[in-house]
Amino acid sequence: MMEIKTIEFKDDILYLIDQRKLPGIYEIFQCNDYKEIEFAIRDMVVRGAPAIGATAAYGVVLAAKEFLKEDEFFKKMEEALVFLGNSRPTAVNLMWAIKRMRVLIESNKNIPLDELYKRIKKEADNILDEDIETNKVMAKYGNEVIKENAAILTHCNTGALATAGYGTALGVIREAHYTGKNIFVYADETRPRLQGGRLTAWELVQEGIPSKLIADNVAATLIRDGKIDVILVGADRIATNGDTANKIGTFMLSVIAKTYNVPFYIVAPTTTIDFDIETGKEIEIEERDISEVTHIDGIRIAPEGIDVYNPAFDVTPWENITGIITEKGIIRLPYKENIMKLK
Q: Binding site for substrate: which residues?
A: 47-49, 88, 195, 246-247
DSSP 275: T
Rounded to the nearest 5°, which phi and psi values hold at 267? -120, 115
Q: Considering the rule CB under 6 A, would residue 48 count as an interface residue with ligand MRU?
A: yes
Is residue 48 within 8 A of residue 162, CB to CB? The reply is: yes
- Residue range at the interface with ligand MRU (CB under 6 A); choices 46-54, 124-132, 215-223, 293-301: 46-54
Q: Is residue 236 flagged as an active site residue?
A: yes
- Which spans in 10-91 are helix H? 34-42, 49-67, 73-85
Q: Considering the rule CB under 6 A, would residue 91 count as an interface residue with ligand MRU?
A: yes
- Which spans in the chain are helix H? 34-42, 49-67, 73-85, 92-106, 113-143, 169-178, 201-207, 219-224, 250-259, 291-294, 335-340
Q: Considering the rule CB under 6 A, would residue 247 count as an interface residue with ligand MRU?
A: yes
Out of 18, 131, 188, 236, the active site residue is 236
Q: Considering the rule CB under 6 A, would residue 47 count as an interface residue with ligand MRU?
A: yes
Stretch 129-168: interaction string toward ligand MRU, x if CB under 6 A: ---------------------------x-x---xx----x
Q: Considering the rule CB under 6 A, would residue 89 count as an interface residue with ligand MRU?
A: no
- Angle, vertex CA 47, rays to CA 277 and CA 202, nearest 5: 130
Minimum Å gap between C-beta 119 and ligand MRU is 27
Identify the bridge partners of residue 211 per DSSP, sorted by sequence position: 185
Report the residue from 45, 50, 265, 318 that binds ligand MRU according to the rule CB under 6 A: 50
- Residue range at the interface with ligand MRU (CB under 6 A); choices 23-31, 120-128, 145-153, 234-242: 234-242
Q: Considering the rule CB under 6 A, would residue 234 count as an interface residue with ligand MRU?
A: yes
Q: Considering the rule CB under 6 A, would residue 312 count as an interface residue with ligand MRU?
A: yes
Q: Considering the rule CB under 6 A, would residue 177 count as an interface residue with ligand MRU?
A: no
Burial letters 235-245, b for 16+ CB under 10 A, else e: bbbbbbbbbbb
Minimum Å gap between C-beta 286 and ligand MRU is 8
Q: Closest residue (Cβ) to ligand MRU?
A: 234
> Is the CB of 156 or the CB of 339 nearer to ligand MRU?
156
CA R_g for the chain: 20
Closest by CA to 340, choosing from 240, 230, 245, 273, is 240
Q: Considering the rule CB under 6 A, would residue 201 count as an interface residue with ligand MRU?
A: no
> Is the CB of 143 or the CB of 158 nearer to ligand MRU?
158
Rounded to the nearest 5°, which phi and psi values hold at 319? -60, -25
Q: How many CB atoms lie within 10 A of CB 5?
A: 12
Q: Provide the binding-site residues for ligand MRU, judged by CB under 6 A.
A: 47-50, 91, 156, 158, 162-163, 168, 195, 234-236, 246-247, 312
Q: Hey, which residues are catalytic here?
A: 236
